[in-house]
Chains A and B, each alone.
Chain A
Amino acid sequence: EAQVTQNPRYLITVTGKKLTVTCSQNMNHEYMSWYRQDPGLGLRQIYYSMNVEVTDKGDVPEGYKVSRKEKRNFPLILESPSPNQTSLYFCASSFASGSEQYFGPGTRLTVT
């Protein structure tokens, strides 16, 4: 089954404790992206990757890092989480940047 998986689905952590949210897709997609969803703001892009070893900032990259060492994986790293990063995070992939995006189920992160 074609899908995007994310782990963990839920995470509660404390300020400053480094964490990684994993994302993997099995569709051989070139383009991958991370979004955060906040009430009243819709989805905002954090980082994206056009291909392996090619990543770039989206609209709200501050406080986040990503890597793309393999085509299928695109982890999101929070080196020192802060409460304003409490949000619902989605990973997405697509064949190309302008084509249909396939979304993961989401990761709800709470930083206290």
Chain B
Amino acid sequence: GDSVTQMEGPVTLSEEAFLTINCTYTATGYPSLFWYVQYPGEGLQLLLKATKADDKGSNKGFEATYRKETTSFHLEKGSVQVSDSAVYFCALSDNGTGRRALTFGSGTRLQVQP
């Protein structure tokens, strides 16, 4: 079945540092890929998405590129802020079977220190 693997956290960075959170996936067919963010005490919010190979999703300074050859969708940001502290989830959709909207990774907690 489909699966998503994320790097374990927590990831602790200083403000203005470069961020990479690794995400790889296993899926049959051609899934869409997502990054969701969960701020403390809140539900998940869509951060960015990519629907086909080589697409780059971007939002709020975050970027991720859909790499079919390496089955990866790594999240990057050039300069993190304290307000970026949250849990980040990589996810994929099965696009067409209709049964299951999203398969999530286990989440990566990011802590940004001033």
- A interface residues with partner B (beta carbon < 8 Å): 4, 31, 33, 35, 40-45, 48, 50, 56, 58-59, 90, 92, 94, 97-101, 103-106
Contact = CB atoms under 8 A, between A and B. Distances in A.
A104 B43 contact: yes
Interface of B: 4, 32, 34, 41-46, 49, 89, 93-96, 98-102, 104-107
Contacts of B93: 97-99
Contacts of B96: 98
Interface-central residue, A4, A43, A45, by most chain B CB under 10 Å:
A43
A75 B23 CA distance: 32
A90 B89 CA distance: 14
A99 B31 CA distance: 11
Contact of A48 (B44, B100, B107): B100
25 contacts: A31-B101, A33-B101, A35-B104, A42-B89, A42-B104, A42-B106, A42-B107, A43-B44, A43-B89, A44-B104, A45-B102, A48-B100, A50-B98, A97-B93, A97-B99, A98-B32, A99-B93, A100-B49, A101-B44, A101-B101, A103-B44, A105-B41, A105-B42, A105-B43, A106-B43
B44 A90 contact: yes
4 shortest interchain CB distances as A-B pairs? A103-B43, A42-B106, A98-B93, A42-B104
A24 B69 CA distance: 40
Given A42-B107, A43-B104, A90-B44, A98 B99 contact: no
A101 B42 contact: no
A90 B107 contact: no
Given A40-B106, A41-B106, A42-B106, A101 B46 contact: yes
